[in-house]
Amino acid sequence: MANRLPKGKGTVLLRLDTSTENIDPEGELVYASVMLKAVFPGSFDPPTLGHLNIIERASSLFDELLVVVAENPQKKYLFSVAERVALMRELVRHKHNVTVFIWNSLIVEFMQTRDLRIILRGVRGTDDFSYEFELSMINKALDTTIETIFMTTDPQYFVLRASAVKELAFFQGDVSGMVPPLVGEALKRKYPLQGADPS
């Protein structure tokens, strides 16, 4: 149902058929409000400045951004899912339209239970793109109503990946340009001494 609503991020300008009941008495242009919600799934093991940059930019494009921290029993993580969620929640606490969830099954199921349609993924380059493209095709095969949107990395985070952060931290390297201080501290607690396994 169309209403006169303030124009916002998800406000779509509609030209309505004036023969319908949604006639604007002062003219034919009225607004319908559409909440644009996107899901940003990932391992976030740990959250990096690259992830946070995507979250920052996406939260200004979408009305609501749901960050979904994956718990895949087939994957080996450095941080437990509880640790990854706690870090992420703290890092996005200042963002009123970002919420953080845990999910241990297919992302399409998470979306179906909440009637969500947009998956957001970040891409650093062509390698990421071919992997992400295949993933999007799998998700499309599982549910044709789901759309994947790719957001290119900010050039300064082009080579930043969580696996490199962990490797550097293991060897006591400086990760301050790659992760926020909170994550840097958490990495120090994981690797207090050289010799732990950086998997």
State in angstroms the smallest separation of the CB of 121 from ligand ADP.
4
**Selected binder of ligand ADP within 39, 52, 66, 162 (CB under 6 A):** 162
**Selected binder of ligand ADP within 157, 166, 169, 191 (CB under 6 A):** 157
Measure the CA angle with vertex 96, ends 77 and 45; round to 5°. 10
What's at 135, amino acid-wise?
L
Binding residues for ligand ADP, rule CB under 6 A, total 17
If binding is defined by CB under 6 A, does position 148 make contact with ligand ADP? Answer: no
Which of 34, 50, 89, 32 minimizes the C-alpha distance to 66? 89
In terms of C-beta density within 10 A (0-12 exposed, 13-18 middle, 19 or more buried), how is residue 36 classed?
A: middle
30 or 179: whose CB is closer to ligand ADP?
A: 179
Alpha-carbon distance 127 to 106, whole Å? 23
**Selected binder of ligand ADP within 78, 146, 160, 187 (CB under 6 A):** 160
Which of 39, 54, 11 minimizes the C-alpha distance to 118? 39
Residue with tokens 């004036």: 18
Report 16-75 residues binding ligand ADP (CB under 6 A). 42-44, 48, 50-51, 54
Which of 140, 60, 153, 61 minimizes the C-alpha distance to 107? 140
30 or 59: whose CB is closer to ligand ADP?
A: 59
30 or 165: whose CB is closer to ligand ADP?
A: 165
Binding site for ligand ADP (CB under 6 A): 42-44, 48, 50-51, 54, 121-124, 128, 153, 157, 160-162
